[in-house]
Amino acid sequence: MAKYKLPKEFFINNPLEKYSTPHIFLEYIAIGDDEEYIFDLEKRTPLDRKIAQQNMAQRRAIEEADDPAVIVDLMRKGISVYNTSAFIRKFMAHQSECMPLLLGRYMTSGQDLFIEMAVKVLIKVDEVYVKQLREMYDQIRSPYARACACFVFGQRGMKDTLEFIVGEYEKFKRQYPDEDFDQFVLTAIYQLSGKPLF
């Protein structure tokens, strides 16, 4: 089978938008991955007392969670950037039990907090689960979750999805002209094509 090639001048005609949601999301992922930066930020930036207490309570809940259903349920509550690394470590320690629950919920969830945390997890888990997500793609109800799934395929370097993702990009542009879902999908196309982001 011939390797798929993007239309000529695709990137000239489809530039990434600066400060779009995926642009901010990529920065947030980078910050959440940098534990040294987060630790330093916590020391340098005095948080409102109530927020600091909420962060500590959330951290304790993450540390104490051992039931896969409880771990996945924490994702619906919004994991603080200060606790993202701790949560992902916990999830990875239980990924074989947690991933079927996460994928099942990903198919039906319309909650942005859950979808966004799922993306941060999917970028880290074993490749087999990302392939399962691709196989289940047509069952994903939320357009935001579908756009984010494409974003994950790009992050994970799944070059065999490029033609499919280009088709999804065209659909998102047509069907959701007032949203920036297409920018998540376009980001994946840039990544899979080795183009610089922003």
- Count: domains in the chain: 1
Note whether residue 88 is domain-resident. yes
Which band of pLDDT confidence, cut at 50, 70 and 90, is reported for residue 21? confident
Note whether residue 188 is domain-resident. yes
- In sequence order, which residues have a C-beta less than 8 Å from that of residue 119 and are 6 or more positions away? 25, 29, 148, 151, 152
Residue 43, pLDDT > 70, answer no
Note whether residue 68 is domain-resident. yes
Tokens representing 112 are 């942005």
Note whether residue 1 is domain-resident. no
Residue 47, pLDDT > 80, answer no
Which band of pLDDT confidence, cut at 50, 70 and 90, is reported for residue 59? very high
Dihedral of alpha carbons 192, 195, 197, 198, sign: negative
- pLDDT at residue 44, as a whole number: 55
Note down the domain range covering 127.
16-192
Note whether residue 2 is domain-resident. no
pTM score, two decimals? 0.89
Which band of pLDDT confidence, cut at 50, 70 and 90, is reported for residue 41? low
Tokens representing 22 are 């995926």
Note whether residue 145 is domain-resident. yes
Note whether residue 186 is domain-resident. yes
- pLDDT at residue 1, as a whole number: 52
Are the CB atoms for 149 and 120 separated by under 8 Å? no
Q: What is the pLDDT of residues 126-182, one digit of tens each?
A: 999 999 999 999 999 999 999 999 999 999 999 999 999 999 999 999 999 999 999
DSSP readout, 53-100?
HHHHHHHHHHHH--SHHHHHHHGGG---GGGHHHHHHHHHHTHHHHHH
Note whether residue 29 is domain-resident. yes
